[in-house]
Amino acid sequence: MQQDKQAIHEKILLKPGTLWKRVQEQTEYALQCGALLTIPTEFEFIEQDGVRFLVRVLSNLARKDAVKQKQQTKTSSSQEFNPFLPYEEDLFVADISQTHVCILNKFNVVDNHLLIITRAFEEQETLLTLQDFAAMWACLAEVDGLVFYNGGKIAGASQRHKHLQLVPLPLIPDGLQIPIEPLLASAQFQDLITTIPQFPFVHAFTRLDPLSVQSPLKAAEVTLSQYRTLLHAVGLENSGRQSGAYNLLATREWMLIVPRSAESSSASLSHESFESISVNSLGFAGSLFVQNEQQMEIIKDIGPMTLLQKVAVATK
């Protein structure tokens, strides 16, 4: 264990007190040079089961699709394009460690949306490691935010290259830190792991120590152990590669895992004339994205919590 601590210590490269300034500087530069392609949105609040869900309509996905198609043409038909290997230098924010770097999300919807990516290729469906959590805590020490991980395509991952994501809090300006915050307060702990009574789907929830930001390396060890306990609690095997898709969300104060049954709602909503509504980790924080007004009406019709239930594993 002491060797593991030393190994991680040698890999932490992020200088304390520098990340947020670098985010602001690189965002300004990337916008000016055209590397950062922000997707404009309009939003509404839809309430269900005590949560005011933030639902954004992505008004311009054509530019994102065009860029992706252009990138794909640069690779052979037999080779899958990887935007992180190498990553765009104009999106680079900081070296976190010898295993991870921080870059801007090229197609951001949320301001200052960061990606924590592995330098070498690792599959998104491999389980998170001590190094992943060390990188996570190094960033959380600098930015009070929500870190999330889409564990596999079914969970909303758009790239195979392993990457965690971080968005600053609050998610709603002049509002709650996170839309699901009112429900988290109802969690009753008799052990390390518990559940949220109002969630109608399989999940597991645990508290984290906010003072962990003072020692990201030690926090990584504790968080890795809690992560493995969460996996076990929801029936996912801990054997190097995940046994099922899941979403993971973490702040300085808590961590939540949700196994997934589907990537989108199309198979279960009986709205065949409309495109499917994809849900990633942010959906379980209370922040959803739709591509058009028709999808917005579907969510209003069935309710956002019902949507989450349909793409997760419903409780019996």
Q: Compute φ and ψ for 294, nearest 5 degrees.
A: -60, -40
Say what the pLDDT of residue 36 is: 96
| Contact residues for 287 (Cβ-Cβ < 8 A; gap 6+) | 53, 54, 55, 56, 171, 179
Q: How far is 185 from 219, CA to CA, in rounded Å?
A: 23
Check if the beta carbon of residue 308 is closer than 8 Å to that of residue 283.
yes
Q: Domains in the chain and their CATH numbers?
A: 2-76+83-311 (3.30.428.70)
| Token reading at 271 | 């709205």
**216 preceded by cis ω (within 30°)?**
no
DSSP H or E stretch at residue 9: helix 2-11
- What are the tokens at 156? 């909303």
Residue with tokens 């973490």: 250
Which residues have C-beta within 8 Å of that of residue 66, sequence separation ≥ 6?
none
pTM beyond cutoff 0.85: yes
pLDDT of residue 73: 53
pLDDT at residue number 264: 73
What is the reported pLDDT for 64? Answer: 55
The pLDDT of residue 2: 47
The CA distances from residue 191 to 195, 226, 229, 233, in Å, are 11, 12, 11, 12
Q: Give pLDDT, residue 68.
A: 56
Low-confidence ranges of the chain (pLDDT < 70): 1-10, 60-79, 238, 240, 265-275
Could you say which DSSP state residue 15 is in? P
188, with CB counted inside 10 A (0-12, 13-18, 19+), is exposed
Q: Which residues contact 22 (CB under 8 A, 6 or more apart)?
A: 93, 94
Pairwise CA distance, residues 96 & 136, whole Å: 9
* C-alpha 156: how far from chain center: 9
- Please check whether residue 204 is in contact with residue 233, taking contact to mean a CB–CB distance below 8 angstroms: yes
- Compute φ and ψ for 56, nearest 5 degrees: -100, 140
**Res 217: pLDDT:** 85
What is the Cα 125 distance to its own chain's centre?
14
